[in-house]
Amino acid sequence: MTVERTDILAEPVETIPGVTALRARAFHELGVRTVGDLVRHFPFRVEAEHGEDTVASHIAALEAKPDAEKSANIAVRGTIAAVRPAFGKRPRLEATLEDGTGNVRLVFFNMPWMRGKLHPGRQGVVEGKAKLERGYLEIVNPKWTEVVAGSEPTARSDRMRAVYPSSEALPSRTIEQTVLKVIDAACAAIPEVLPLEFLLERGLIGLRRAYRSMHAPEDEGAFGAARTRLAYDELLTLQLAVAIKRRMRSAQGAPALPIGAAIEREILARFPYEFTADQLKTFREIARDLGETQPMNRLLQGDVGAGKTAVALASMLVAVTNRHQAAMMAPTELLAEQHFASISRFLAGTNVRVGLLTGSLPAGERALVRDLVELGQIDIVVGTHALLTGDVKFHALALAVVDEQHRFGVAQRAELRGKAPAGQTPHMLVMTATPIPRTLSLTVYGDLDVSTIKHRPKDRAPVHTRVLSESRSDDAYKFVKERIDRGEQAFIVVPAVEESGIGLKDVASHLAKLESGALKGARLAAMHGRMKPDERDAIMDRFRAGEIDALVATVVIEVGVDVPNATVMVIEHADRFGLAQLHQLRGRVGRGPKGGVCVLVADPTTDDGRARLEAIRSTDDGFRISELDLAIRGPGELFGAKQSGLPPFKVADLTKDLGLLERARNDASDWIARSPLLAQDGEHLLRRKVLGTYGEALGLGDVG
């Protein structure tokens, strides 16, 4: 039976025959409330239910197939030999299935109810994609059908079956059966948003056909064509929104901040070292933008220690030279304080006035800084989110710099931009020491021009990375002691400030252990984010001065710490840290000509943990690490909706769809050049889709 209504997409899911109140609640928990939501709840794969090339007679035969490494679709019967939970960032249930000829590992993510279904001795059939993972045959999130010992599995029909994101209360097969009841009527109600000629030129199928083939494909080729069309739609929608945003920005006015060759030489001469070729190139890109009345919106990315802050300071001096103000916003008070201190030291003896504005400043001091900023008597103000409060007003803000920008949301960057005098928009420079994979630079940061510093300063020697198990941690501290005895310094990073009760090393306990053990006699100190700013500053000043041999700290030293004599770092429980965070921490050593060594101490219990340690050990190239991090964690975790302000994709995969993304970007650019606001005949549906999806996130309210 099928449901036929003209407004089918808006109908509640419980109007579908067979969807009881209990089942409707299960759909709601998956985010499915209407028929439209249901047909947009796409399967993540399809599999053939029957076929001689799909069913393995026994596991040994499957292991012998060379395509097992290429993720083959299989169905195999066997007995559960073992079941074990595994914990970590992605908790999972693992089981081993045996059939007398071999075994296969079953891995279930986000399916806790399987613990009640899998027990040693039970027999069943598993179906899914099998692949070799570190020498073991593995199936992730397979379908499990229990069978009675001695019986045969139920015969299956010869067709493709969609496999959906599901829950214990709502198995994939139930979702599929429900979708098939409404798919014909729902597809008939889906309007096409792209012109037929446009689709034909790009070899894309129609939208209705794409929806049908996602849920009920004739074969894998049809499913692939459907996925391509729907992924392209998602990418094109975003790229059109980004192109509109760029177009709108070109119509805004910013103060022109020109500099000639003489002023450039004067600014660069302030630095005690010569800019690298990359630094000079990026500074000139920024200076060129600052000289225009169209607001700059540029991302400055570079590896740890590449010299981004120096380029940002040179850029802020361009604003000051033109008698305007610059602001730098950092995500933490510690980083803001460090930036303020280093900029103040750098500009000592000049007429440039620098101020600090953070939430922990005493009320009187904060009020004084706020008044000086409003009167134009501070040229460069460094601060945290405190810069965004309503009582902070600038006299002539022309350049806003956001450091570690991925820690700020879209709305916060917009608030800072709104601090310029009425009628003007400041130039915006956002910085990141976590290089952005190309796919993300075209999506989340698609409205930004990108400048890249790839090479580190010439005096920086490489940092070598070693991974040790917990049982060999004594070796790490013997090495630290040797370096300290040579007059060098060390960082020791632990994940907790105080005892956590879950076995993680904390600052106080670990410091005490080292003082009475492996580093006895060395000058040790602790530092963490709960300390008062003055206390942290005093400790860092002593460390820079060489009065402290080793600093036991949390990730508070992740960014902004520059001590050239620090040559070794030990990171305890290294598998508990993210890949980008490990790379940032490692960047605190080897900042001088002596080079450095980073020792990762860990006994990882998850595949992701092992993958991160192998990745960080294998390369110190931040750009390569960003790509590996994207592959390991996925774009949703790296740059989710909360941070980027953009909703996640349902179909497009930024780890695989770079070619499709670049095509969508080019198409969007051409389209907006012809129709800047998507207001021509036949574009109303596309316009509504673009603004409905990204209007609020990208601030496209003026488009209407």
pLDDT beyond 50 at 53: no
Q: Which of 209-218, 559-568, 593-602 has the lowest mean pLDDT?
A: 559-568
What is residue 16's DSSP assignment?
Answer: S
pLDDT beyond 50 at 673: yes
Condensed to tens digits (0 to 9), the pLDDT of residues 80-131 reads 988 988 766 567 889 999 888 888 899 988 777 788 888 888 888 888 878 8
Condensed to tens digits (0 to 9), the pLDDT of residues 37-49 reads 999 999 988 877 6
Q: Which of 82-96, 356-370, 371-385 has the lowest mean pLDDT?
A: 82-96
> What pLDDT does 570 receive?
94
pLDDT confidence tier of residue 150, bands split at 50, 70 and 90? low
The helix/strand/coil state of 437 is: coil
Condensed to tens digits (0 to 9), the pLDDT of residues 520-534 reads 999 999 988 788 877
Is residue 214 within 8 A of residue 199, CB to CB? The reply is no
pLDDT confidence tier of residue 491, bands split at 50, 70 and 90? very high
In 251-376, alpha helices (H): 261-269, 277-290, 308-321, 333-346, 363-375
The letter for the amino acid at 527 is: M
Is residue 616 within 8 A of residue 582, CB to CB? The reply is yes
Q: What would the two tokens of residue 648 be?
A: 């996640």
pLDDT beyond 80 at 539: yes
Torsion angles phi and psi, residue 324, rounded to 5: -125, 175
Condensed to tens digits (0 to 9), the pLDDT of residues 196-215 reads 999 999 999 999 999 999 99
> What pLDDT does 209 receive?
95
Angle, helix 308-321 to helix 277-290, in steps of 10 degrees: 30
pLDDT confidence tier of residue 28, bands split at 50, 70 and 90? very high
Mean pLDDT of 44-55: 62
Q: What is the mean pLDDT of the chain?
A: 83
The DSSP H or E segment spanning 301 is strand 297-302
> What pLDDT does 1 receive?
43
Distance, in Å, from the CA atom of 637 to the CA atom of 611, rounded to the nearest integer, reads 16
Condensed to tens digits (0 to 9), the pLDDT of residues 570-583 reads 999 998 888 878 88
In this structure, what is the dihedral angle of CA atoms 50, 56, 62, 66, given to the nearest 10 degrees?
Answer: -40
pLDDT confidence tier of residue 313, bands split at 50, 70 and 90? very high
> What pLDDT does 424 receive?
79
> What pLDDT does 598 receive?
93
Which one is predicted more confidently, 680 or 150?
Answer: 680
Distance, in Å, from the CA atom of 628 to the CA atom of 616, rounded to the nearest integer, reads 9
Q: Which of 142-156, 246-260, 512-526, 669-683 has the lowest mean pLDDT?
A: 142-156
pLDDT beyond 60 at 377: yes
Query: Residue 594, Cα to own-chain centre: how many angstroms?
Result: 32
Q: What would the two tokens of residue 60 be?
A: 């040994």
pLDDT confidence tier of residue 329, bands split at 50, 70 and 90? very high
Judge if pTM exceeds 0.85. Answer: no
pLDDT beyond 60 at 156: no
> What pLDDT does 639 receive?
42
With 0-12 / 13-18 / 19 or more C-beta atoms within 10 angstroms meaning exposed / middle / buried, residue 334 is buried
Q: Compute how many other C-beta atoms are within 10 angstroms of the C-beta atom of residue 261.
A: 7
Mean pLDDT of 668-685: 91
> What pLDDT does 375 receive?
94
Q: Which of 336, 367, 332 is nearest to 354 (CA)?
A: 336
> What pLDDT does 562 receive?
74
Query: Residue 274, Cα to own-chain centre: how many angstroms?
Result: 33
pLDDT beyond 50 at 50: no
The letter for the amino acid at 482 is: E
pLDDT confidence tier of residue 231, bands split at 50, 70 and 90? very high
What is residue 352's DSSP assignment?
Answer: -
The DSSP H or E segment spanning 197 is helix 196-202
pLDDT confidence tier of residue 149, bands split at 50, 70 and 90? low
Express as a percent the part of the chain with pLDDT over 70: 84
Q: What would the two tokens of residue 433 be?
A: 């020491």
Q: What would the two tokens of residue 146 be?
A: 């229990």
Torsion angles phi and psi, residue 489, rounded to 5: -125, 165
The letter for the amino acid at 580 is: A
CB-based burial, 249-260: b 16+ in 10 Å, e otherwise:
beeeebbebebe
Torsion angles phi and psi, residue 88, rounded to 5: 150, -160
pLDDT beyond 70 at 455: yes
Strand partners of residue 452: 301
Angle, helix 684-694 to helix 220-250, in steps of 10 degrees: 80
